[in-house]
Structure 1
Amino acid sequence: MGTFTIKLPDVGEGVAEAELVEWHVAVGDPVKEDMTLAAVMTDKATVDIPSPVDGTVTWLAGAVGDTLAVGSPLVRLDVAGPGGASETGETPDVSEPAPSPTSESPPSGLPISPLVGEMPGRAEGGAEGRKRPDFDARTRGGSAPPSGLPPISPTRGEIRPSASVAPASHPGRKPGERPLASPAVRRRAMEAGVDLRRVTGSGPAGRITQEDLAAFLDAGAEAPAGRGRAADSSVTDVRISGLRRRIAQKMETANRRIASITYVDEIDMEGVESLRAAMNKDRREDRPKLTLLPFLMKAIVIAVRGQPAMNALYDDEAGVLHQHGGVHIGIAAQTGGGLMVPVARHCEARDVWNCAAEVARLSDAARTGSVKREELSGSTITITSLGALGGIATTPIINHPEVAIVGVNKMEIRPVWDGAQFRPRKRMNLSSSFDHRVIDGHDAAVFVQRIKQLLENPAMIFIEDAA
C-alpha cells in the first residue's frame, strides 16, 4: 500500500488559486478512477476535480470556503502499490504520517436572495496529469427565474429551519455533531422529511449510506410527537462561501464605487399586452411564445440610439466611458443556485421574434445546466425583474461596470382617471437605476420616458426598428 496525493490542478489560464466550494467524499470513503472528489471555484467558473486512481480517502485539504493554491495537496488516498502524486509526478515518502483526517463533510451551498450581478458559470478546466478526463461543464441553478427564465433544479443542501424540538443524537455520535452523508443521501432525506441526526450510519466513521436511509424509511420511523412550542435559543453559523461570496464581493464593489440614482415611472401596458396576445394567437409553430421581455428589449435598443451613454461600461480608474454600438442585454434572474445573468448579444440586430427565441434558448440552457461561460458575461445594459413578486417599486443595483439597469415591477389592474371616470387598466412600474457619476438625472428621466412611449405605443417599436 502507498499514499497517492492529488494536487489542485491548473483550473484556468492565469488562475493561481481557487476556493473549495464542495466535497463529494469524506475521509474513509473508497473512490474509483474518474470519480468526482471536490468542486472548486475561480472568479468565473466552478470546476469538478476527479480522481485519477482508485483508492481510499485518508485526508482532505480544509473545509468548504477555504482558498487553495494551484499545485497544493487536495486529497490523499491509500492506494495499491508504491503511491505517488498527481500533476507533478513526485513520489512522496510512503512512511510519512498523513495529517489528521477531516471528521465530517463540509456544509453545502446555500440559497440566496435576489441581487444583481454576474454569476460565475461552470466551465471546463484542468491540468496535465496521469489520466485526466474532461471536467464536467455545467452551471448550477434553482428556483424559477423571472423575465421568462424557467425553473432550475435547487442546489445541494439548502439550510432548513430547525424543528421546535430537536431530535436526540444517535448513540456513537457526539451531541451536536453533524451526521456524515453524501449530497445524494442528504437530498433524499430532505425530500422524505427525515432528520439525518435520527439515522444510524453503518459506513466509515458512522457515515450514513443510501441503505441506512432506506432501512430507516422502511422501518416507518417517525419524528417524536411535539409537546408544544419550546423556546429556541439555538444559533446557526453559516459560512458565506462559493457563489454567495462572489456575489457579496460584486455587490460590495458596486455599492462602494457607484453613486446611483433610481428613477420610477408608471406605464400603461394595455397596448403592448393586446398586441402581444394577438401576435401569439397567430404565430407560426416554429416561433416561440412572446412575453413582455422581447418588447422591452427592443424598446431599450431604440432608446439607447438617442442616448448611447446608457449602453456603456465606465472605467472609473481610467476615467473613460466605453460606449458600445452593440446592445448586449443581460437578463438578471434569481435561481436557487445563485444569481444568473445570461446575455442576449446584439439585440440591435434582432427583431422581437428573434429576441424571444434567444431568451428561450438561454432559458433552456439555464434549465439544463449547459449555459456557457461566455453567455454569462459581456452585457452592456441589464434588465432585472422579480416577476409576480416585483412589488410597486425597487432600487436595482447596477451591474458594475455598466451604468444603467432597467427594473421591471409586477403588472396589475389599477383604476385610472380618463377625464370622466375611473377605468381599470393594466399598469406596471419601471424602476431603473443609473450611475449618477456619468448619467444626469434629466438624461435618466428622458431615457425611461422614451421606453414608456414605445411600450404604450408598441407599433412604434416596429416602425422605429425598421427605420
Structure 2
Amino acid sequence: MGEHLIKMPDVGEGIAEAELVEWHVKVGDIVREDAVLAAVMTDKATVEIPSPVDGEVVWLGADIGDVVAIGSPLIRLKVAGEGSDIPVSEPREEAEPSLSLERKEAQADQAGKASKVAVEGPARSAPYPSPAEAVPRAAMRARRPAVPRPEGEKPVASPAVRLRAREAGIDLRQVAGTGPAGRITHEDLDDFLARGPEVARASKLIQDTSVEHIKVIGLRRKIAEKMAVAKSRIPHITYVEEIDMTALEDLRAALNANRRSDRPKLTVLPFLMRAMAKAIFEQPHLNAIYDDEAGVVHQYGGVHIGIATQTASGLMVPVVRHVEARDIWGCAAELGRVTEAAKAGLATRDELTGSTITITSLGPMGGVVTTPVINHPEVAIIGVNKMMMRPVWDGATFIPRKMMNLSSSFDHRIIDGWDAAVFIQRIKTFLETPALIFVEA
C-alpha cells in the first residue's frame, strides 16, 4: 500500500490560488477514480476537483473557506501499490500538520469506539446507532430529565458527540449528561432522540443564548468584497421616479395572449431593457465603466445589461449582451436563458462578466423605494420596484392606474444629477408610451 498526494490543480484563467468552498469527502471515505473530491471557487466560477485514482481518504489539507495556492497539497489517499512519492510509513503527525485539534480528537474518539466494538462484539457499519436503534436501549434505562443548563454554562462533550449532535440538529444545552462531570455521551444523545417530542413539550419557552459563528466564504465573500468596493469607492446618487405602467401592462398582456408557441412569455424587464437601449443611444456616456485608478472612462457602443439574479448560492449578475441589436422577444429569450443558467449554477464566466449597465429587481417584493448599489466598475444601475394599483388624479377625478417606481443609482463622479434625471425621464417616456419602444430612430 502507498499514499497518493493530490495537489490543487491549475483551474485555468491564469490564477494563482482558489478558495475551497466545499468538501465532498471526509477522512475515512473510500473514493473511486473520477469521483468529485472538492469544489473550489475562482471569481464567480465554481470548479469541481475529481480524484485521479481509487483510494481511501487519509488527510485533508485545508478547511472550507481557506484560499489554497495552485500546486499546494490538498488531499491524500491511501492507494494500492506504491502510490505517488509519499510512503505509508511517514509519521501521521508530520503528514497532517493542518488537522485541527477538534478533528484529531474526533478521529481518536471514533478509533477508540471502533476498537472497543472489535473487542466486545461484532463491528457495526455506523459509528453510532440510528434513532430507531436507540429506542429499545433507551426504554430499558431509567429516563433522565432533560433540564436546560443554566445560562452561560457550556455542555461538556467529546468532538465526536458534538459532531453527531450538530448533524442531527440537537442543542446540547438541552441534553442531560450522565458521564463524569456531566459529560454528554452517545447514550445520552440516544435517550434525547428517543423522547424528542416529550422534551419539546416539557421545555416550553427557554432562553436561547447560543451564538453561531458562520465563516463568510465562497460567493458570499465575493459579494461582500464587491459591495464594499462599490460603496467605498463610488459616491452614489439615487434618483427615484414613478412610472405609469398601465398602457405597457395592457400591451404586454395582449402580446402574451397572441404570442407564437416558440416565443417566451414577456415580463416587464424586456420592455425596460429596450427602453434603456434607446435612452442610452441619446446618452451614451451612461453605458460605461470607470477605471478610477487610471482615471479613464470606457464608454461602450454595445449595450450589455447585467441582470441582478438571486440564486441558491447568492447574488449573481448574468449578462444579456448587445441589447441594442435585440427586439423584445430576443431580449426575453436571452434574459430567460442566462438567468436560468445562473440559478442552476451552470453559467459560464463569459455569461457572468462584461456588463456595462445593470438592472436590479426584487419582483413582487420590490418595495416602494430602494437604494441600489452600483455594480462596480459601472456608472449606473436601474432598480425596479413593485407595481401597485394606485389612485391617480387626472385633473378631474382619481382613477386607478398601475404605478411602479424606478429607483436608480449613478456614479456622481461621472454622471451629474441633471444627466441622471434626463436619462430616467427618457425611460419613463418610453415605458408610459410603449409604442415608442417599437419605433426605430
Q: TM-score range by the shorter chain?
A: 0.7 to 0.9
Matched, 1:381 2:357: yes
Q: Which amino acid aligns with 1:241?
A: I
What does residue 90 of structure 2 align with?
96
Q: How does 1:244-393 map to 2 (within 5 A)?
A: 244-393=220-369
Higher RCO, Cα 8 Å, sep 6+: 1
What does residue 123 of structure 1 align with?
none
8 A contact 2:20–2:38 mirrored in 1: yes
Closer, same or farther: CA 104–298 of 1 in aligned 2, 3 Å: farther
Deviation string, structure 1 residues 416-451 (Cα, Å, up to 9, x no partner): 111111111110000000000010000000000000
Q: Which amino acid aligns with 1:179?
A: R
What does residue 409 of structure 2 align with?
433
Deviation string, structure 1 residues 349-394 (Cα, Å, up to 9, x no partner): 0111111111122233234432222111111000001111111100
Correspondence for 2:432 among 456, 459, 465: 456
Give the 3-state SS of the residue equivalent to 1:254 in structure 2. Answer: helix
Matched, 1:41 2:70: no
Distance 2:371 2:347 in 1: 28
Residue 225 of structure 1: how far off its partner (Å)? 2.4
What does residue 399 of structure 1 align with?
375
Distance 2:156 2:213 in 1: 25
Q: Which amino acid aligns with 2:298?
A: H
Distance 2:336 2:44 in 1: 23
8 A contact 1:179–1:196 mirrored in 2: no
Distance 2:211 2:260 in 1: 56
Q: How much is the aligned-residue C-alpha RMSD, in angstroms?
A: 2.9
Matched, 1:29 2:23: no
What does residue 80 of structure 2 align with?
80
Q: How does 1:18-167 map to 2 (within 5 A)?
A: 18-84=18-84, 91-97=85-91, 98-99=95-96, 101=99
Give the 3-state SS of the residue equivalent to 1:244 in structure 2. Answer: helix
Distance 2:78 2:165 in 1: 20
Q: Which amino acid aligns with 1:360?
A: G
What does residue 178 of structure 1 align with?
163
8 A contact 2:312–2:343 mirrored in 1: no
Closer, same or farther: CA 252–25 of 1 in aligned 2, 3 Å: same
Size of the aligned set, in residue pairs, is 374
Give the 3-state SS of the residue equivalent to 2:431 in structure 1. Answer: helix
Give the 3-state SS of the residue equivalent to 2:200 in structure 1. Answer: coil
Deviation string, structure 1 residues 232-278 (Cα, Å, up to 9, x no partner): 11111111111111111111111111111000000001010011111
What does residue 121 of structure 2 align with?
none
Distance 2:374 2:318 in 1: 15
Distance 2:244 2:416 in 1: 25
What does residue 224 of structure 1 align with?
199
For structure 2, list consecutive stretches of 5 or more residues without a partner in the other structure: 105-146, 175-185
Q: Kindly, what percent of the aligned residue pairs are identical?
A: 61
8 A contact 2:31–2:57 mirrored in 1: yes
8 A contact 2:309–2:342 mirrored in 1: no
8 A contact 1:263–1:433 mirrored in 2: yes
Q: Which amino acid aligns with 2:200?
A: A
Closer, same or farther: CA 411–301 of 1 in aligned 2, 3 Å: same
Q: Which runs of 4+ in 1 moved over 6 A?
A: 169-172, 218-221
Matched, 1:418 2:415: no
Q: Which amino acid aligns with 2:355?
A: S
8 A contact 2:3–2:78 mirrored in 1: yes
Deviation string, structure 1 residues 273-322 (Cα, Å, up to 9, x no partner): 01111111111111111110110000000001111011011111121111
Give the 3-state SS of the residue equivalent to 1:225 in structure 2. Answer: helix
Higher helix share: 2
8 A contact 2:39–2:46 mirrored in 1: yes
Closer, same or farther: CA 246–369 of 1 in aligned 2, 3 Å: closer
TM-score (norm 1): 0.74
Distance 2:13 2:198 in 1: 51
Moved more, 278-287 or 221-230: 221-230
Give the 3-state SS of the residue equivalent to 2:78 in structure 1. Answer: strand
Q: Which amino acid aligns with 1:442?
A: W
Distance 2:215 2:198 in 1: 28
For structure 1, list consecutive stretches of 5 or more residues without a partner in the other structure: 85-90, 106-163, 199-207, 209-214
Closer, same or farther: CA 268–21 of 1 in aligned 2, 3 Å: same
Distance 1:400 1:305 in 2: 22
Q: Which amino acid aligns with 2:257?
A: K
